[in-house]
Structure 1
Amino acid sequence: MKALFIGGTGTISTAISSALVRQGWELYLLNRGNNNDRVPEGAKVIKTDINDEAGVAALIKDLSFDVVADFIAFVPSQVERDIRLFSGKTKQYIFISSASAYQKPLSDYRITESTPLANPYWEYSRNKIACEELLISEYRKTGFPVTIVRPSHTYDDRSIPLGVHGDNGSWQVAKRMLENKPVIIHGDGTSLWTLTHNSDFAKGFTGLMGNIHAVGEAVNITSDESLTWNQIYEIIASALGVKLNAVHISSYYLAECSSYDFTGSLIGDKANTVIFDNSKLKRLVPGFNATVRFDQGIRALLDNVLSHPELQKDDPEFDRWCDNVIENYKNSIKKL
């Protein structure tokens, strides 16, 4: 079996790439070659920019694939390009959408693939919805063999999954914990959230690859474990060996007083309770089961981050922002 991944070295795709090579797939990764240290031994790299459509077309002219998956398509124009490039050259095209595309606010906290798609708070999610609509239309008109995958919050061993962090990643929040500084948790911390380790995501994804029953379908791939944000932050602090010093601040307050896109990432996503029904995935991939509990995954993640200084990216601007927001919030409470 032969697959082409556009990207293939990101948080989600690295675990899938490694799994496929172990399973004996002939794997091509089409990317700019910026993360060669994450390319599994045995994969073949086509070094180019996917946005150079004519150049890509020339490079793959004599190639065809059982599966093409695009991990870096975010807007309809990129999907339109993929349709032009891969029509007639693949038996299955997998588009990585997002569970943030589901309606906000939710009419039912239990999310299935039939939950409506509508997110007025986040342009990222609306663009994913538009990509899905374009692909399904193409499937209906021409038979373009699309499978849509909707991941939720998937993490690996390099970046700590959190609700509130700056543009330079999440290390600064862990650093605040280690320094016993107050850490912001959005809302009251009791909404439920789902975190999925990328090795578990890879099990579901590889099971959909080459699966004729998945063509024309949209499928959630998440863990069945649900945790409150309070539990998530407590687990992280415990794994760091420190006591959590939490300050709960309204998601709407954070969105209003910040240049960070908390309207999209919180109001349009993480501030909502989400519990996913993975029944469809389990029908399509018999035996699928997410096995990495968050407390296990976070310990391995933190061991890796703490032993690799290059993953500890300081964010002094976000640190100052946290201090200012917390101080202003506490002062406003005192005035009541």
Structure 2
Amino acid sequence: MHAVLIGGTGTISTSVTHELLQQGWQVTLINRGTDTPELRELVELGARSLVCDVNDEPEMRELLTSHRELQHVDCVAEFVAFTHEQVERDIRLFLGKTSQYIFVSSASAYAKPARSYIISEGTTLANPYWQYSQQKIECERVLMEAYRKLSFPVTIVRPSHTYDRRSLPLGVHGAQGSWQVAQRMLEDKPVIVHGDGSSLWTLTHARDFAVGFVGLMANTHAIGEAVQIMGNETLTWDQIYSCIGAALGVTPQLVHVSSQMLAAAGPQYDFTGSLTGDKAVSVVFDTTKLQRLVPQFATRTRFDQGVRECVDYILNHPEYQQADPEFDRWSDELIAQLDVFVNHMSAFNAQHHN
């Protein structure tokens, strides 16, 4: 069986490539050829890497034409398409050349505000808060129309919050990723948690996700279907941050700030989309469809276990310890302003009580 992965070295796709190789698939990665430890490792394990800018359609068409083994493949998995123009390009490139095309969408596409905290594939797609989600919804629409009108063999996958060893999964962080929050914990500085920390969230280790994803590949029952892939462990955000602190060997100081205030105080971080349009909403996912299509799928990595792997890996790989002084200052300033407000209100209440 031959799979072509467009991307192949991201948070999700690296683990998918590992799983495919372990199951004996022939794997071709198409990406821009950026030399990374992940790409080198996958090539050493047997994946083939072809360098091409997939957004350059003539170049991509020439690549597919010049390699006989790419004339028809069992599965194409698209990890880096975010707009309807990109999936329309893929339809032109792969129609008649693959038995299955898997598009990675997002569980953030589900309706906000949620009508029910239990989310299934039948939940309406509508997110007015986040352009990223709106674009994924439009991609899905285009692909399902191609399935109905052209018999384009699409499968849509909707992940929720998936993580691997290279980054700590958080709700509130800066442009450089999660390390600065971990650094604040290590320095015994308070860290910001959106809301009151009690909203529910699902985190899935990429290793577990990959089992579900590969189980859908070359699966005739998955053609024309949308399937959400995530684990069955649901945590509060306070629990998530506490697990991260425990992995670091500290007890984190958690400061709770409403998502609305975070959006107003930090528009440069797009908290309106990432929080109001996603992480601030309590959800529990119904994975009945996934279990039916991929019976072997299971949550094998609890978050407290997975996050220890993350911390150990990041601490031993300085390249993933990206400092973010701007976010650090922003956090200090916001927390200081909250302290002033709390002290003011305490004095006000004391004065009026007396």
| TM-score scaled by length of structure 2 | 0.94
Is residue 2:256 matched to residue 1:233? no
Matches within 5 A, 1:118-197: 118-197=126-205
> Quick check: which has more Rg, 1 or 2?
2
Equivalence for 1:17: 17
Bigger proportion of residues as helix: 2
- Secondary structure of the residue aligned to 2:203 is strand
* Cα deviations by residue, 1:11-66 (Å, 9 ceiling, x for unpaired): 00000101111211111000011144213121111101001111111111132110
Would you say 1:321 and 2:330 are equivalent positions?
A: yes
Q: Does 1:310 align with 2:291?
A: no
Structure 1: distance between partners of 2:263 and 2:339:
17
Residue 283 of structure 2 is aligned to residue 274 of structure 1: yes
**Structure 1 Cα separation of the partners of residues 121 and 35 of structure 2:** 33
**Superimposed CA distance per residue, residues 215-268 of structure 1 (whole angstroms, 9 cap, x where no aligned partner):** 000001001000000000011111111111111011100001112100000000
Task: Give the Cα separation in 1 of the matches to 2:147 and 2:129.
Answer: 28
Partner of 1:58: 62
Q: Distance in 1 between matches of 2:116 and 2:46?
A: 44
SS in 2 for 1:193: strand
Gaps of 5+ in 1: none
Are 1:3 and 2:3 matched, yes or no?
yes
Q: Which amino acid aligns with 2:317?
A: H
Contact 1:9 1:35 in 2 (8 A): no
The whole-number CA distance in structure 2 between the counterparts of 1:330 and 1:84 is 56
Query: Within 1, Cα distance between the matches of 2:8 and 2:243?
Result: 30
Distance 1:260 1:55 in 2: 35
Identity over aligned pairs, percent = 59
The alpha carbon displacement at 1:330 in A equals 1.7
Q: Which of residues 296, 299, 308 is equivalent to 2:308?
A: 299
CA distance in 2, matches of 1:36, 1:212: 34
C-alpha RMSD over aligned residues: 0.8
SS at match of 2:238: helix
- What is the match of residue 49 of structure 1? 53
Please give the secondary structure, in 1, of the residue aligned with 2:129.
Answer: coil
Matched AA of 2:29 = L
TM-score, normalization by structure 1: 0.99
Aligned AA (1:49): D
The total of aligned residue pairs comes to 336
Residue equivalent to 2:221: 213
Q: Verify the 8 A CA contact 1:7 1:71 in the aligned structure 2.
A: yes
Give 2:34's aligned residue.
34
In the alignment, the residues of structure 2 paired with residue 112 and residue 309 of structure 1 have an alpha-carbon distance, to the nearest angstrom, of 39
Q: Which runs of 5+ in 2 are unaligned?
A: 346-354
